[in-house]
Chain A
Amino acid sequence: MIEKYQQIVSMLLTLTSEERVEWEKTSGNEYKVNVGNNYITILYHEASPCIVVANAAPDIDFLKLLLWNQNGELIDEVKIEKRDFGSTDYDNLMALYVAARRSYGKVYDALDNIIIELDKTAKKD
């Protein structure tokens, strides 16, 4: 992955974990975030299990980081396959995907609420 993408992934990961950027769900299996005039989406493709077609390339998991312009045109994309598992790029991109999914789902708020409710229940007893 080119250095600038690595930098963007790292910065987005930090900002997402600090809840300073908000991700939205798109119509595909991806999450998007607006950055100035452009926006970025992150997509995770999960391979279909146990489907083997003769003479066809095996379906494998991959992550994609897509860059869009203000006219809604896809201008670039970076694809990292699971076979690169263990590489820093794949790990960072997966961490960003998970962080984006949690940001969209407001997972940390939900977890906080659950902890408060559980705490209340524990105190009642």
Chain B
Amino acid sequence: MKESKLEFTWKHVLMHCGIVIAISILTGYVIHQDVCATASDYISGVGSVASIYAIGITLWQLRQVKRVAQAARDAAQKKSEEIAEFTLFAEVARHQEMCSGIVSCLYGEQYEAAAMKMNDIRKLLIEIRERNWEYVDKTVLNRLIIELGNDSVNLQNRWMSNEELDIKVVLKHINKVSNTLSDISANLKNKKL
């Protein structure tokens, strides 16, 4: 959006006064054509012209104020989006590291810890999905979210009641999540640059 200026300097005041005086002289001259014109006619004529001009200036100023306010709102919104994206960029990087933590937990049979970490990643993926970024494939995200949700329940079942668990499948899913987060991270970085 084009930046609007709200400055009203002495230069502007003098310019507008000049315009009002010029129009007043012109109005006075027009009134002067009437032979019956009295002093009050001159005063009211010039006053009317000045009032109409002042209303014009006021409306123009109001419009400028509105434009400046809108520009400020847009700038604040942009800044807030930038901050949110930067926070998310950091979150993606943190969760990407979490993937290797999950692998360690799985090999160490710490199924509950792995399930909690997977739930965290699932929530982040839901947040990313809600942003509707064009460079993120929603179908892939949906699939990963579903797989992570299912895996965390299966990990909890393994931990609580020693249910059957195919770790290879969980590792495959984690690998997919790690690659997806890496792609998202690269895209966010490119967008910032």
Contacts and interface: CB of A to CB of B under 8 A. Distances in A.
Given A26-B169, A29-B164, A71 B150 contact: no
B146 A28 contact: no
Contacts of A39: 146
A28 B148 CA distance: 12
Given A72-B122, A74-B153, A27 B173 contact: yes
A29 B163 contact: yes
Contact of A71 (B147, B149, B165): B149
Interface string B140-165: 00100111111111110110000111
Given A45-B163, A70-B142, A72-B122, A27 B151 contact: yes
Given A45-B163, A72-B122, A27 B149 contact: no
28 contacts: A25-B169, A26-B150, A26-B151, A26-B154, A26-B166, A26-B169, A27-B151, A27-B155, A27-B170, A27-B173, A28-B153, A28-B154, A28-B157, A28-B163, A28-B166, A34-B146, A39-B146, A41-B150, A45-B163, A68-B146, A70-B146, A71-B122, A71-B126, A71-B145, A72-B146, A72-B147, A72-B148, A72-B152
B37 interface: no
A72 B170 CA distance: 15
B150 A72 contact: yes
A18 interface: no
B76 to A, nearest CB: 31
B66 to A, nearest CB: 42
Nearest to A25: B169
Nearest to A48: B162
B52 interface: no
B65 interface: no
Interface string B161-186: 00111110110010000000000000
Given A26-B169, A27-B170, A28-B164, A68 B142 contact: no
A21 to B, nearest CB: 16
Contacts of A71: 122, 126, 145, 149
A27 B150 contact: yes
Interface of B: 122, 126, 142, 145-155, 157-158, 163-167, 169-170, 173
B165 to A, nearest CB: 6
Contacts of B150: 26-28, 32, 41, 68, 72
Interface string A30-43: 10101000010100
A73 interface: yes
Nearest to B118: A72
Query: Most chain-B Cβ atoms within 10 A of its Cβ — which of A28, A41, A68, A71?
Result: A28
Contacts of A26: 147, 150-151, 154, 166, 169
A26 B170 CA distance: 8
Nearest to B123: A71
